[in-house]
Amino acid sequence: MIPPTLELPLIAVGVLVVLAAGYLLYGSFVARQYRLDDSRATPAVLKNDGVDFIPTRPFYLLGQHFSAIAAAGPIAGPIFACMAFGWGPCLLWIVLGVILIGAVHDFSALVASVRHGAHSIAEIARQTLGRRAWLALVCFIWLALLYVITAFTQITAQTFIGVSEELEGLNTTFNKGGAVAAASTLYLALALVMGVVQRFLKPPMWLTTLVFVPATLGCIWLGTRLDEALVLGPKFWYTAILIYCLVASMLPMWLLQQPRGYLGGFVLYFAIAVGTLGVLFGGFAIRQPAWPTDPAMLDPIAFLRPPQTGAQQQWPITNMLVPFLFVTIACGACSGFHGLICGGTTSKQIARESHCKSIGFGAMLLEGFVAVIALATVMIVAPEQSRGAPPARIYGDGLALFLTRFLGPEAFLFCATFGAMAFSTFVFDTLDVSARLGRYLLQELFAAPGRVAGLLAAGATVGVPLLMLLLADPNAYRTFWTLFGTSNQLLAALTLLSVTLWLRRTGRRYWYTLGPTVFVGSITVWALCIQFYMGARDAAAGAWRTPAGDLNPTIPNGAVSIALLGLAAVFVVEAVRTIRRPPA
């Protein structure tokens, strides 16, 4: 019998061993299929302009790419899933999914972009499948980005909301939500200062790091002293966060996004270090159940049964193990959003083709371990304590427990603020990148360059999520998250389909991308059909609002689900037409 305090460390060590083996064995196998050739000049070398196309050493590029892809997805998803399905299925899907599907997706998207002049996956689809497929994919990506922004904004706002609590033994009150809001605001202001300093004073990078990284930790400490300064409601924070996204998407990259991403990377690495030490040496026991507690969760047609009410209601339809386990964990195992990063910025900095393996395959495996750490933060909490709690709070409290174990209880205020701010820091990285990508897509779709068109495109990209959030229940983030995860993974399936067709037309093996395409595509289409059915059922019953008078989130989810299914169908039809052509 394994002692309870050793179960979690043994699981973590086992995961690390399996991930390492996956990189060395399966990663090397996939790399051989692509015939990576360092004698072939990459777009970064051919088009080196010192702005977008810059050959970058793999160590630095790995950090930049990892901080761009490792946002809130691999944190919130595993926590949601563990509370619904138990940690056993979550752990299996994270480990197997990240090796066999997620890392293959990222690696393949990166190689395909490098081989196609560092173009995006949408442009590759235009070249491979034609304009109609490109149009469908651009619209699909934009709708998916709307749900990224909606889900992440609502979850972030939850970290900024709190009440003052008496802290036993510290003889003080503390509002953690207010402290996180203050610390996050100071952090963004610090990033602006860093951008200005770098632009005009041009200090050496080591000096910038030496000054601004400790200053980031100083922002956290100062936030604990200003915990009552920004105590505001959720609708204020929805509006403020999305105004920030609008402004950030229009600012020059050097002013905010680059310095914020650089500082956020250090917060990410610190959070990973704290999580790893806490899991391995914290001595915490597992308190969550390993497997689903209700066998009805395995019912494949539960969504067709009459809605449960009152005391009989045990779990929502989205707690059906299949297909919702996979789309709930989302980025922790596979993320279509990563393909946008691979083809958007990373492919323009690959100095040699052989670097694609460590950047594409390796970074996704690291993200899988981030998901395992997030899973651990809820595994150590009893079900009655975690039930109904936002994932940001669970993750933040978990990191605080890990850090306090080593720094001592007197550091609790700093640790609690750091844990929650780490989550919001990851989200900011995703939010403003998503807003910027949405602006790019709309401007490209309507062929409308210029600042005014950019502002209108950015306004539409953040305006739709703002309208949904102002109308919806403040606790609707779980429902929004489900559609976000579904659209995100269906985007991954469409990306893998594009790569599969490219491999087929060039006469290469493609089963290792076709298999994940079929699996992820089937799961996500199934999940979208259920969400469409739920939305249509509620709309037909006139249930447009919740008992509290807010917009029923299943209604917009159902409408967007059918739109995504239609766009994906157009893309697949164009793919079938391409398959009928003889290989090149």
Domains and CATH numbers, the chain: 4-300+315-474 (1.20.1740)
pLDDT tens for the chain, 584 residues: list them: 567 777 889 999 999 999 999 999 999 999 999 999 999 999 989 988 765 688 888 877 887 788 778 777 888 899 999 998 999 999 999 999 999 999 999 999 999 999 988 888 888 888 888 888 889 988 998 988 898 898 888 888 887 876 655 444 455 566 777 788 888 888 889 989 998 998 888 899 889 889 998 998 888 888 878 877 787 888 898 999 999 989 888 888 778 877 887 787 788 888 888 899 999 998 899 999 998 877 767 766 666 666 555 434 455 667 788 899 999 998 889 999 899 888 877 888 899 999 999 999 999 999 999 999 999 999 999 888 888 788 888 888 888 888 888 887 777 777 777 777 777 777 777 787 788 888 888 888 888 878 888 889 989 999 999 998 888 877 787 888 899 899 999 999 999 999 998 898 888 889 999 999 999 999 999 999 999 998 998 899 888 887 777 888 889 899 999 999 999 999 999 888 877 766 55
Strand partners of residue 189: none
The alpha carbon of residue 546 and the mean position of all alpha carbons in its chain are separated, in whole angstroms, by 28
Q: Rounded to an integer, what distance in angstroms lies between the CA atom of residue 114 and that of residue 347?
A: 5
Tell the residue number behind the tokens 């990973």, with chain if given: 272
Tell the residue number behind the tokens 């008496």, with chain if given: 166
Look up residue 2 and give its two tokens.
Answer: 């394994």
* 3-class DSSP assignment, residue 27: helix
Look up residue 17 and give its two tokens.
Answer: 């061993």
In degrees rounded to 5, what are phi and psi of residue 174? Answer: -150, 130
Tally of CB atoms within 10 A around 490: 26
pTM: 0.89
Q: Rounded to an integer, what distance in angstroms lies between the CA atom of residue 120 and that of residue 138?
A: 11
Look up residue 454 and give its two tokens.
Answer: 């950019």
Q: Rounded to an integer, what distance in angstroms lies between the CA atom of residue 44 and that of residue 60?
A: 15
Instruction: Please answer whether residues 503 and 98 qualify as being in contact, where contact means their C-beta atoms are separated by less than 8 angstroms.
Output: no
Cis peptide before 582 (omega within 30 of 0): no
DSSP labels, 201-236 = T---HHHHHHHHHHHHHHHHHHHHHSTTTT---HHH
The radius of gyration computed from the CA coordinates of the chain, to the nearest angstrom, equals 23
Q: What is the pLDDT of residue 346?
A: 86
571: Cα within 13 Å, side-chain hemisphere: 29
**Neighbour-count burial for 543-579, b at 16+ CB within 10 Å, e otherwise:** eeeeeeeebbbbbbbbebbebbbebbebbbebbeebe
Question: Is residue 121 classed exposed, middle or buried when 0-12, 13-18 and 19+ CB atoms within 10 A define those classes?
Answer: buried
In degrees rounded to 5, what are phi and psi of residue 473? Answer: -65, 135
The alpha carbon of residue 493 and the mean position of all alpha carbons in its chain are separated, in whole angstroms, by 16
- 528 to each of 159, 323, 521, 554, how far by Cα in Å? 29, 10, 11, 12
